[in-house]
Amino acid sequence: MDALELRLEPGFNVLTGETGAGKSIVVGALSLVLGGRASAEQVRPGADEAEVEALFDVGGAERITAALEAAGVSTASGELVIRRVVQASGRSRAYLNGRLCTATELAALAPDLADIASQHESVALTDPSTHLGYLDRFARLLPARSELAADVQRLQEITAELHASRQLERGRGEREAFLSFQLQAIDALAPRSGELAELAAERSRLRHAGRLHEITQRAAARLDQGEDALCDELARLASELRGAADLDAALTPVARALDACWDELRDAAREIGRYAERAEADPSRLAEVEDRLYRLEGLLRQHGPTLDDVLAARARIADELSRLSGVESRVADLERRRAELLAVAGERARKLSVKRRKAGEKLGAAISTELSELGMGGARVVVDVAPLAGERAELAIDGARLSQEGIDRVEFLISPNKGIEPRPLRRIASGGELSRALLALKRVLAECGPAGLYVFDEVDSGVGGAVADKIGRAIADVARHHQVLCITHLAPIAAFAGAHFVVSKSDAGGVTRSTVVRVGKKERAAEVARMLSGAKVTPSALKAATELIEAAGGAL
């Protein structure tokens, strides 16, 4: 079985290698465990399946832990193992700590686990739904947002209750009449739990009273009447055996058993006799029983299938009638509470919106400055804070829809060059521009973003020299707060890494294989020298590589 393992270190990890060595395999594998699309092309020809497994440290990540626990996935160890198996047919299976899950569930967890910045791909920062959270973290507004969320949640609950109460109020008259009719129909019969079985048994006895009288009377006579009565015959046998027991004590138990049988038979005979006396036809009582069964069955058709269901329905009907009687005062109370809470939440939302707009200007300027440092001097970032659409929403403030996050929609817009109108971050065409824009965002938001792995691929596209050095420094700065994996072709970027991994490719038996090795001091200097000078590593290139790594402060 072919296998490849990559054990990343905390901080800045760099992955380098010759073009075509297989560096993209790492990004593809990570994308797969984060809910990316599976395809048959990911399985080596001739193999039945491909498997990718990733181990994440989620200790202290409260949002991830809460989401996993809600899905029934244990995180007691503080670790999360994601496994994705892709079959040769293209079908796939996914597992969270051994529990089968869907790719959609993986994708929902992805933003808090890792963010991949490569050509046309970013798991989190290019998703506008995450931008409000980043702005609020940057502006330290999360406590205020939490207070607003609590108010809005109560508002939503009150609004839902008010809507239901108004519905009751509108159809109150007809509903009360209907419910009263149903309640009276049940109370008129006053059914009891288990009554149906009792009535069915009584009806059977009354219907067959003549036959039952005949059978029991004949049985009573055969048991205890006439010369050949069974009780008398058993009494004689018992008496004879008692006499025999006087001669042989071994027969005493048998004699006693026959005495006991005689007692039981006499009791049975008396009981059957009494039953025969009572077993008489009673047409009027039979009519009463059948009439009550018919009426009870009518209730069952409405509220059944059992009498217990009928009794439960009666309780619900009585409860609804009680609520209907006080619905007008309930509506008035809910309207008052809703208006008071809406005024409080509205004021919170307005203040939060003002702070967001001011913070958005500062954040946009800070990111633009970072982009300038990264060789995109003409780039400009705008943090667009706009009202949430929904003038007709039930909860609205100044024409904007009120949500638990406020009344604002936030999206990061970028103009890569002067004279170009800012566009959504996700629509930037250049992979290099996208990666550098995301790097700038992450550097500014390094202390604000959720914990997790940041992956930079193609961040060095179209740059070199001084810009590459600045990109390396920027990634190293981000790595002080996050685990980072950077795939690069540029030595000035690789020099800043704390852990260096090299991808190499080999051909054996007509099969191409890629391997990943973490290199030590000597091998790392040789790899950086190769990146500086090309395939042939010269002493001067080796010396330059060593000096570059030392100057950058990378691990040697």
Listed by start position, the domains of the chain span: 1-123+450-556, 177-324
Kindly report which listed range (111-125, 276-290, 393-407) carries the lowest average pLDDT score: 111-125
> Looking at residue 120, what is its pLDDT?
44
Return the HEC string of 281-327: CCHHHHHHHHHHHHHHHHHHHHHCCCHHHHHHHHHHHHHHHHHHHCH
Mean pLDDT of the chain: 85
> Looking at residue 556, what is its pLDDT?
47
Q: What are the two backbone dihedrals, phi and then psi, of residue 44, each rounded to the nearest 5 degrees?
A: -60, 135
Does residue 408 register a pLDDT over 90? yes
Residues 35 and 111: beta-carbon distance below 8 Å: no
Closest to 116 in 3D by CA, of 485, 533, 502, 547: 485
Does residue 191 register a pLDDT over 60? yes
Does residue 245 register a pLDDT over 90? no
> Looking at residue 291, what is its pLDDT?
92
Please give the torsion angle defined by the CA atoms of residues 510, 87, 458 and 483, in that order, rounded to the nearest 10 degrees: -120
**Of 168 and 246, more confident:** 246
Closest to 182 in 3D by CA, of 35, 308, 313, 51: 313
- State the amino acid at position 359 in one-letter form: A
Strand ranges in 29-152 using DSSP code E only, listed in sequence order: 49-57, 79-87, 92-96, 99-101, 114-117
Helix (H) or strand (E) holding 207: helix 195-207
Average the pLDDT over 448-454 and give the result.
Answer: 70
Does residue 175 register a pLDDT over 90? no
Average the pLDDT over 293-317 and give the result.
Answer: 91
| CATH topology classification for 1-123+450-556 | Rossmann fold (3.40.50)
Closest to 144 in 3D by CA, of 349, 346, 338: 349
Please state, in angstroms and rounded to a whole number, the distance separating the CA atoms of residues 7 and 189.
Answer: 76
Bridge partner residues of 54 (DSSP): 82
Does residue 432 register a pLDDT over 70? no
pTM of the shown model: 0.61
Residues 380 and 367: beta-carbon distance below 8 Å: no
Long-range CB contacts (< 8 A, 24+ apart) of 299-308? Answer: 299/185, 299/186, 299/189, 299/191, 302/182, 303/186, 307/191, 307/192, 307/193, 307/194, 307/195, 307/196, 308/193
Percent of the chain with pLDDT over 70: 93
Q: How confident is the model at residue 235 (pLDDT cuts 50, 70, 90)?
A: confident
> Looking at residue 156, what is its pLDDT?
93
Please state, in angstroms and rounded to a whole number, the distance separating the CA atoms of residues 215 and 231.
Answer: 18
The interaxial angle of helices 230-247 and 252-278, nearest 10 deg, is 170
Average the pLDDT over 204-210 and give the result.
Answer: 86
> Looking at residue 448, what is its pLDDT?
67
Average the pLDDT over 86-114 and give the result.
Answer: 85
Does residue 405 register a pLDDT over 80? yes
Closest to 125 in 3D by CA, of 370, 436, 514, 468: 436
> Looking at residue 327, what is its pLDDT?
78
Tens digit of each residue's pLDDT (9 = 90 or more) over 6-65? 899 999 999 988 877 677 788 888 888 888 888 888 878 878 888 889 898 887 777 788
Residues 506 and 470: beta-carbon distance below 8 Å: no
Bridge partner residues of 412 (DSSP): 383
Average the pLDDT over 448-464 and give the result.
Answer: 73
Please state, in angstroms and rounded to a whole number, the distance separating the CA atoms of residues 183 and 284.
Answer: 29
Tens digit of each residue's pLDDT (9 = 90 or more) over 484-530? 999 888 889 999 999 999 988 877 666 677 788 898 988 899 888 98
Does residue 126 register a pLDDT over 80? no
Kindly report which listed range (344-353, 434-443, 468-477, 511-520) carries the lowest average pLDDT score: 434-443
Closest to 410 in 3D by CA, of 469, 458, 357, 369: 357
Please state, in angstroms and rounded to a whole number, the distance separating the CA atoms of residues 93 and 84.
Answer: 6
Residues 440 and 448: beta-carbon distance below 8 Å: no
Give the three-class secondary structure for 214: helix
Does residue 171 register a pLDDT over 80? no
**Of 282 and 301, more confident:** 301
Strand ranges in 418-508 using DSSP code E only, listed in sequence order: 423-424, 453-457, 483-487, 499-508
Helices (H), 225-251: 230-247
- State the amino acid at position 49 in one-letter form: E
> Looking at residue 149, what is its pLDDT?
94
Please state, in angstroms and rounded to a whole number, the distance separating the CA atoms of residues 129 and 116.
Answer: 16
CA 309 → CA 290, 292, 314, 323, distances in Å?
A: 21, 18, 9, 21
> Looking at residue 378, what is its pLDDT?
81
